[in-house]
Amino acid sequence: MSENTESGRADADLAIIILAAGQGTRMKSRTPKVLHRIGGRSLVGHVLATAAELVPAHTLVVVRHERDLVAQSVADDAPHVVVVDQDEVPGTGRAVELALAQLDGFSGDVLVLSGDCPLADAGTLTAFVAAHRAADAAVTLMTAVVADPTGYGRVIRDADGDVSRIVEQKDANDAEAAVREINAGMYVFRADSLRTHLPAIGIDNAQAEKYLTDVAGLARVAGDRVAASVVEDVTVTYGVNDRAQLSEVGRLLNARTVRKWQLAGVTIMDPATTWIDVTATLAPDVTVLPGTQILRATSIAEGATIGPDTSLVDCEVGENAIVTRTDATLAVIGASATVGPFAYLRPNTILGAKGKIGTFVEIKNTTIGEGSKVPHLSYIGDTTIGVGVNLGAGAITANYDDIAKHRTEIGDHVHSGSHNVFVAPVRIGAGAKTGAGAVIRKDVPAGALALSVAPQRNVEGWVEKNREGTAAADAARAQADE
């Protein structure tokens, strides 16, 4: 049942079990806790990604609450992972026991992680497994000394300073509750130690659950070595139990991502207001200005400037492009192009190199050729625009006739007058021009000038005659007398 295809690189003696069966009551949410998202992935998605970096021989995820939703999300993120169903027996001990039953014949080390602790990075976990192996321990706990241990299991040590057991907060007496060394909820166990002790764990505790933490005490009594790795950076142990912790853990993850890109050569002026998903990529010498979100699979090429106040979702930005105060999803922005301020780019907007999408412009499902410009106050949808085109201010494509969407095709080097409506389907031939205010209902041949507005007629003296005594009439008379 091994899942790791890169068996050459895999650690054959390592299995990872991720616990994700709990409900997460304190989230007060229809969405299962481990599927809440930070930094572009679900909580359990982050844990799966980190687990994959360790290249274990086996990865298993235990599910129960909203089983199908969680299992589907896990399968989407990590298809090779084995999903294990927890039964009606509650507790982290039962979850691991059922996962272990799928690891028949495996005699290596089992790293147990929680689906709600997304900040434990691969470096920390690799060192953790290495420490367990170096100490030749049966059980190694990750622990941290914190200012406020509320809610965590406490690590109880004997007179020699060795770990003797873990006591859950709800089962702790006053002296135990005062201990500030907490169980981070991440462990390495020798598989045989789990096989020996898990069946012996009962539910005689405040929560009537099978506690995984009881393995530590049982192993100790059996004379097995129980070690503890005390982490210095306590943030790697932070879990999400409520929405306040969700945002705090999200902020810490983002701070890490921002710092990573800064050290890779990206200027990020204000880390506190810049949000970058772990799935986005930025090249050196990109500049990110305050209030900017760079999300999902967005990639930004060298020298581009993004922001301030810009959201990019699944976008591709070319070298030296400038994107200012813009909201864009699934858009491609060419090299040295400029976008904004105040532009709205909807899916399948493709702006060519050196092109321009200006102020108060909305674009959807449209390709704009190299050097072409839609500078002001426009809506362009379902359109193909050639190279060297300039659309005057207020260009509108009427792409929807109530029944279906239709395309507009604008040839190379077309210049349209201000305030044009292109009633699709319609084609403007190469090099054509259109007059101000034109409503283009018929195709325009290449090189033609299209006019659709009736010639202007001036009715002389109309104001003086019909608006006697107004400021307008006085002004008109004064100018006529000059």
Residues marked active site are found at: 376
92 binds ligand UD1 (CB under 6 A): yes
238 binds ligand UD1 (CB under 6 A): no
- Among the listed residues 10, 29, 49, 90, the single contact to ligand UD1 using CB under 6 A: 90
* CB 124, min distance to ligand UD1, A: 15
40: partner contacted, choices Ca ion, ligand UD1, none (Cβ within 5-8 A by kind): none
Q: Which residue is nearest to ligand UD1 (CB)?
A: 153
* CB 294, min distance to ligand UD1, A: 29
Would you tell me which residues interact with Ca ion (CB under 5 A)? 239
45 binds ligand UD1 (CB under 6 A): no
Q: Rounded distance, CA 7 to CA 44, Å?
A: 24
Q: How far is CA 18 from each of CA 44, 82, 124, 297, 349, rounded to the nearest angstrom?
A: 8, 10, 16, 25, 40
61 binds ligand UD1 (CB under 6 A): no
42 binds ligand UD1 (CB under 6 A): no
434 binds ligand UD1 (CB under 6 A): no
- Within 8 A by CB and 6+ apart from 266, the residues are 282, 283, 284, 285, 286, 287, 288
152 binds ligand UD1 (CB under 6 A): yes
Question: Which letter does DSSP use for residue 293 in this model?
Answer: E
* CB 383, min distance to Ca ion, A: 51
310 neighbors 324 (Cβ within 8 angstroms): yes
Q: Rounded distance, CA 208 to CA 403, Å?
A: 61
- Within 8 A by CB and 6+ apart from 406, the residues are 382, 399, 400, 424, 425
Question: Which letter does DSSP use for residue 230 in this model?
Answer: E
300 neighbors 314 (Cβ within 8 angstroms): no
- Among the listed residues 40, 45, 118, 185, the single contact to ligand UD1 using CB under 6 A: 185
- Among the listed residues 4, 42, 73, 114, the single contact to ligand UD1 using CB under 6 A: 114
5 neighbors 59 (Cβ within 8 angstroms): no
Pick 239 or 250: Cβ nearer ligand UD1: 239
Pick 213 or 349: Cβ nearer Ca ion: 213
Go through the chain and tell me how many residues it has: 482
- Position of tokens 């147990």? 112
Q: Which stretch binds ligand UD1 (CB under 6 A): 16-24, 77-85, 172-180, 375-383?
A: 16-24
- Among the listed residues 45, 108, 239, 392, the single contact to ligand UD1 using CB under 6 A: 239
189 binds ligand UD1 (CB under 6 A): no
Q: Rounded distance, CA 328 to CA 297, Å?
A: 13
Pick 115 or 250: Cβ nearer ligand UD1: 115
Pick 59 or 183: Cβ nearer ligand UD1: 183
Pick 95 or 351: Cβ nearer ligand UD1: 95
- Of the candidates 78, 303, 110, the residue with the CA atom closest to the CA atom of residue 188: 110
* CB 70, min distance to ligand UD1, A: 9
H/E stretch holding 306: strand 305-306
Q: Which stretch binds ligand UD1 (CB under 6 A): 179-187, 267-275, 349-357, 374-382?
A: 179-187
153 binds ligand UD1 (CB under 6 A): yes
Q: Rounded distance, CA 350 to CA 416, Å?
A: 20
Q: Which stretch binds ligand UD1 (CB under 6 A): 194-202, 211-219, 311-319, 388-396?
A: 211-219
445 neighbors 429 (Cβ within 8 angstroms): yes
- Provide the token pair at 15: 């299995």
213: partner contacted, choices ligand UD1, Ca ion, none (Cβ within 5-8 A by kind): ligand UD1
Strands 311-313 and 305-306: unpaired
Q: Which stretch binds ligand UD1 (CB under 6 A): 13-21, 97-105, 135-143, 321-329?
A: 13-21
Restricting to residues 278-317, name those near ligand UD1 by CB under 6 A.
Answer: none
Q: Which stretch binds ligand UD1 (CB under 6 A): 19-27, 376-384, 414-422, 452-460?
A: 19-27
CA angle 212, 217, 223 (to 5 degrees): 125
Cis peptide bond N-terminal to 90, omega within 30: no
- Provide the token pair at 269: 């002026």
261 binds ligand UD1 (CB under 6 A): no
- Provide the token pair at 44: 């359990």
22 binds ligand UD1 (CB under 6 A): yes
Q: Which residue is nearest to Ca ion (CB)?
A: 239
Q: Rounded distance, CA 436 to CA 175, Å?
A: 83
Question: Which letter does DSSP use for residue 271 in this model?
Answer: G
Name the residues that contact ligand UD1, by CB under 6 A.
Answer: 19-22, 62, 86, 90-92, 94-95, 114-116, 152-153, 166, 168, 182-185, 211-213, 239
